[in-house]
A and B are shown apart, each in its own frame.
Chain A
Amino acid sequence: MKKGFWASLFGGNDTPSSADIAKDRLKVIVASSDRLNTRLTADRIEQMKREILQVVNKYVNGVQISDVNINHHHEDNIDMLEMSISLPDRK
């Protein structure tokens, strides 16, 4: 629907349309929602730990699930997944 000649001449457009309001609200949400967080939930990280543990234990014996540490953090717009595995003492 194009605005008519008279409407464009006299109709003020000072108030933002509700579509603009909707766009602004969504921008805030979609920009602030941490996409990686939705990809990697706590449950999925736990699952990943267990799978990694299986692989590690094929080559090294005696690694426990508590020895696998995974940290997920955010630096300068880069999402990092940091993993460390402490190996048991050699017997």
Chain B
Amino acid sequence: MAKIIVVTSGKGGVGKTTTSASFGAGLAKRGFKTVIIDFDVGLRNLDLIMGCENRIVYDFVDVISGNAKLTQALVKDKQLENLYILPASQTRDKDALTDEGVAAVMKELSEDLGFDYIVCDSPAGIERGAQLAMYHADEALIVTNPEVSSVRDSDRIIGILQSRTKRVEEGGSVKEHLIITRYNPERAAQGEMMDIDTIANEILRVPLIGVIPESNAVLEASNHGQPVIHYPESAAGQCYEDIVARFLGEERPLRHLEVKKKGFFAKLFGG
């Protein structure tokens, strides 16, 4: 049985696709057969971040509408043996995904194709597309920026995870993990940005699984079409590596969050 993980946020542009790509690649690097599904019908982007945009023939909607077999639509990753992506359609709208269709795809990935992990990259918002992406989830990665609108949207999403998911309908719950992205330790220390503790423990009250500092490597990686986890020199790459390790039950201390000390002269003359 595959474990299904949704990557969700509510707000757009906070790093869901970046997270889905690196998290999925991280699981595959550790030998798990992993598929990342792009649920953003009409605005697909996962393929660009993974660098496989030229290999797409069929997509998720083709599978659901019976135009293609699931095995035809799955795109094999460029570098990792057991990583696949299922691209979203670029031309249809979100109504092309049906509840039954999505359920059948999940079942086939899990039971017939033997995937260990299914990572669902949710579209932004709380509409149908986002709800479909989270419906089958066993666990959720909630991606948040340290910024008011993003935190509030995440709170909304947590409410939906706790009420409109298959697990909850069956009397269980979805295990939640919080990821804070684009974090700037200096600004948090200056009090210009909410800090980790405030977001995770005071406001959202969701167990923190990792923090990704603001990093130039994320843009660099997406320009190249590579998940940033393949940049082992970068802080963001290392922090995603840590998130995967913690997800799999390892203890890892938080890294790259220390405030760079101001120099003597800066202290003397800097405001």
A residues touching B (Cβ–Cβ < 8 Å)? 18-19, 21-22, 25, 28-29, 33, 37-38, 41, 43
Contacts and interface: CB of A to CB of B under 8 A. Distances in A.
**Chain B contact residues: helix, strand, loop or mixed:** helix
Given A29-B48, A38-B90, A41-B91, A18 B224 contact: yes
Given A28-B54, A29-B53, A22 B222 contact: yes
**Chain A contact residues: helix, strand, loop or mixed:** helix
Size range of the chain B interface in the assembly: 10 to 19
Contact of B220 (A18, A33, A41, A43): A18
Given A28-B54, A29-B48, A21 B224 contact: yes
Given A25-B48, A29-B48, A29-B53, A18 B223 contact: yes
B53 A41 contact: no
Contacts, number: 27
B92 interface: yes
Contact of B91 (A21, A28, A38): A38
B225 interface: yes
26 contacts: A18-B219, A18-B220, A18-B223, A18-B224, A19-B223, A21-B223, A21-B224, A22-B222, A22-B223, A25-B48, A25-B51, A25-B53, A25-B225, A28-B53, A28-B54, A29-B48, A29-B53, A33-B90, A37-B91, A38-B90, A38-B91, A41-B91, A41-B92, A41-B93, A43-B92, A43-B93
Interface in B43-75: 48, 51, 53-54
A67 B224 CA distance: 49
A40 B223 CA distance: 30
A27 to B, nearest CB: 12
B47 to A, nearest CB: 9
A22 B222 CA distance: 8
Nearest to B47: A29
B114 to A, nearest CB: 32
A18 B54 CA distance: 18
Closest 7 CB pairs of A and B: A22-B223, A18-B223, A18-B220, A38-B91, A21-B223, A37-B91, A41-B91
A33 B92 CA distance: 13
Contacts of B222: 22
A73 B221 CA distance: 37
Nearest to A23: B223
B21 to A, nearest CB: 15
Contacts of B219: 18
